[in-house]
Amino acid sequence: MPLVLALVALALSIWIVFPGPIVPLFALTVGGTELWPILAAFNAFALAAAIRSHGWTRAAASGFAAAALVCSLVPPFAYLISPGRVPLAALLAPLPLVVTPANPPPGAPVVLAIYGGAWEHGSPANDALLNAIVASWGYRVIALDYPHAPGARWPAQRVAILRQIDALPPGPIAVLGHSSGAQLAMIAGAMRPHRIAAIVTYESPVDLQMGYEHPSQPDVINVRHVMSDLCGGTPAQQPECYRSGSPRYAVHAGMPPVLMIAAGRDHVVYLGYERLLRDELQRDGVNVTFVVLPWADHAFEDVPIGFHNRIALWYLRRFLDSRLKASPP
């Protein structure tokens, strides 16, 4: 029994260090990283059980359990050695496990939420919990929708988002997006700077051609297939799509302030590309808050009670309050 427990512990934890190459195993990477405190407690129990066991399996069980425990402690260790310090208040912020339905006051600032899904799947319901959390802070949250590739090629997605923004009445607006939704949020902010007061991106794509030519390893989502579905071909075949769909070519001086939340170990959107976008925004004089979560991976926010989600929400609330509310709480 201790050996089986140790093997289970290692099977759940090893993906924190070695990212899963396919979607089901990558889900263990994200889930294990975000739930590392729970996993570490389980692994410590498995190690204690192995140490107390007898017979020829004791050494093997102890080794496997110890390796699992080390894997599960990598995320907090990454924060200890990271050059960028996360405020203690963010690390200790309570998780909103129960969200009270909110009725925003009349005239409440609007947050437009754009879901991710590689432009091919998903719905406005994807981020229901996050949207409810933001609404509980006193915002009116509107989840936007857009047509999916390959049935709808770029720029149909951009057109749909801009049409919904243009239909809104005057008032303070922030746009918040995840992954492909972040790409749409950044481009919308660039094209409607007079309507949008703040932009928030989680793991934003930056340059579609660079992503196509240099996919992450492991290439969990088959980036080239995703890009081809969106644009209807390769960069050589559809150069205008790859350029107009790349936030780095859309950003410019005069854009609203931006909060970029980046996953330090993102295996879908390369962190270096996000730094490139940050630098280009700053060269244009745009106010950028750039937050790197050292051991987070792509879509970490899909784990609502996760370790990194707590930190991201701390930054998100302060950014929105400072940009959309006259008197932040």
What is the DSSP secondary-structure string of 82-139? -SSPPPHHHHTPPP--S-----PPTTPPEEEEE--STTTS--GGGGHHHHHHHHHTT-
Provide the sign of the torsion angle of the four alpha carbons 16, 116, 129, 260, taken in this order.
positive
Q: Are 72 and 64 a contacting pair, CB within 8 Å?
A: no
User: Cα(157)–Cα(114) distance, rounded to whole angstroms?
Assistant: 11
C-beta atoms surrounding 151 within 10 Å: 9
Helix, strand, coil percentages for the chain (3-state, nearest 5) = 50, 10, 40
User: Cα(188)–Cα(283) distance, rounded to whole angstroms?
Assistant: 19
CA angle 58, 63, 68 (to 5 degrees): 125
User: Cα(138)–Cα(106) distance, rounded to whole angstroms?
Assistant: 10
The CATH number of the structural domain formed by 88-324 is 3.40.50.1820
For the chain, domain boundaries: 2-81, 88-324
Tens of pLDDT along the chain (329 residues)?
899 999 999 999 999 999 999 999 999 999 999 999 999 999 999 999 999 998 888 999 999 999 999 999 999 999 888 877 788 888 888 877 667 767 888 889 999 999 999 999 999 999 999 999 999 999 999 999 999 999 999 999 999 999 999 999 999 999 999 999 999 999 999 999 999 999 999 999 999 999 999 999 999 999 999 999 999 999 999 999 999 999 999 999 999 999 999 999 999 999 999 999 999 999 999 999 999 999 999 999 999 889 999 999 999 999 999 999 864 44
The DSSP letter of residue 302 is G
Structure tokens at 145: 């929708």
Provide the sign of the torsion angle of the four alpha carbons 21, 296, 81, 43, taken in this order.
negative
Q: Are 248 and 277 a contacting pair, CB within 8 Å?
A: yes
Model's pTM, two decimal places? Answer: 0.94
User: Cα(196)–Cα(189) distance, rounded to whole angstroms?
Assistant: 6
